[in-house]
């Protein structure tokens, strides 16, 4: 049944072309923002409100690169 395998390959190729891939650079910025937010939350819970604000600002600056 070679016809079925050809149709299957075409369907898979069409599905792959519709997938939007996230570039590696964007993934690294997302990870940076997430780390900053987690660290800021931990600092806030421990009472370091000044450092919380600094990390929040760094995370916001990193988030600008996601646009």
Range of the domain at 34: 22-67
**pLDDT one digit per residue (tens) for the chain, 67 residues:** 556 677 777 777 666 666 678 888 899 999 999 999 999 999 999 999 999 999 999 999 999 999 8
Q: How many domains does the chain have?
A: 1
Domain assignment of residue 63, yes or no: yes
Q: Residue 14: inside a domain, yes or no?
A: no
State pTM to two decimals: 0.68
Query: Looking at the domain assignment, is residue 32 inside a domain?
Result: yes
| 1 occurs within a structural domain | no
Tally of CB atoms within 10 A around 56: 17
pLDDT of residue 18: 65
Q: What are the two backbone dihedrals, phi and then psi, of residue 54, each rounded to the nearest 5 degrees?
A: -65, -45
Residue 33 phi/psi, 5-degree rounding, is: -65, -45
């Amino acid at each position: 049944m070679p016809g079925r395998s050809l149709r299957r390959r075409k369907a898979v190729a069409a599905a792959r072309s519709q997938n939007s891939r996230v570039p590696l650079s964007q993934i690294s910025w997302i990870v940076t923002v997430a780390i900053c937010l987690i660290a800021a939350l931990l600092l806030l819970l421990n009472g370091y409100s000044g450092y919380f604000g600094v990390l929040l600002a760094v995370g916001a600056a990193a988030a600008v690169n996601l646009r």
